Amino acid sequence: MSTKAIIFDCYGVLYVDSHRSLKQEYPDLAQDIADLSQQSDYGWIDREQYLEELSRLTGESTSFITEFILTEHHLNKALVATIAELKTQYKIGMVSNVGRGWLEDFFTQHNLRHLFNVIVLSGEEGITKPNPDIFTLAAERLGVETGECIMIDDIQDNCNGADAAGMRSVHYRSNTQLTSDLQALLESDTQTM
C-alpha cells in the first residue's frame, strides 16, 4: 500500500517535553510526577486537578507550574516546516498521550492547528499509546487504512504499538534521521507500485 497519511507524536517530536524538565527539577518527585502525568494522559484527572496536585507536591503555585510547563516546551521549528511541506501531498495527523486542555495552549501560542487534519489525544479518548487501538482510531478519522499510515514517535514502544496496528513507523531521534528514514519509506512506496 502506498502512504496516504503521516502521523506525528507531539511531545518529544514536535515539542521537547517539559515533564522531563520537571523530573530533573524535582528528582525526588519523579515517580509522583510520572504517575500524575499518566492519570492526566488517560483523562482520569483534568488539567486543574493535575496542576493542583503538582502544586501540592512541589510547594509551588499552580501559576508557577503552568508557566514552567509552557516555557519548558520548545517547538521543533524545523519539523513544523517539514510537516507543512508534507501536508501538500499527505494527510497529516497527530496522536499524543496528553491530558485534556494542554495541547490547545501550545497550538494557540504557535498557530499549529492548521497543520493537522486530525488530532487524537489520549486524555479525550481514554486510550494511551502504545495501545494499537489509538492508532487505528487515528487512521479511521483520517479516512485511510492503517497500512497507509506512517507513525513518527520518539518512544520505541509507541512505534511498536503503531506497527501492531498495521502502520509503518519511524522512531524519531533527530530531524536529520527522521528525514532520511521517512524518505526511505516513501521511496519504497514508489518501488512497490
pLDDT for residue 17: 66
Q: Which three cell numbers stand for residue 25?
A: 527539577
- Asked if residues 170 and 152 have their Cβ atoms less than 8 Å apart, the reply is yes
Where do the CATH 3.40.50.1000 domains begin and end in the chain?
A: 5-15+74-191
3-class DSSP state of 118: strand
pLDDT for residue 120: 97
Question: Cα separation of 128 and 136, whole Å?
Answer: 12
Of the CA atoms within 13 Å of residue 156, those in its CB half-sphere come to 0
pTM metric for this prediction: 0.82
Which letter does DSSP use for residue 171 in this model? E
**Kind plus residue range of the DSSP H or E element containing 180:** helix 175-191
Residues of the chain with confidence (pLDDT) below 70:
17-20, 72-73, 109, 191-193
State the architecture of 5-15+74-191 in CATH terms.
Answer: 3-Layer(aba) Sandwich (3.40)
Segments in the chain forming alpha helices (H): 18-25, 30-41, 47-58, 62-72, 77-86, 103-110, 122-125, 132-142, 156-164, 175-191
pLDDT for residue 111: 80
- Asked if residues 27 and 111 have their Cβ atoms less than 8 Å apart, the reply is no
pLDDT in tens, 141-151: 999 999 999 99
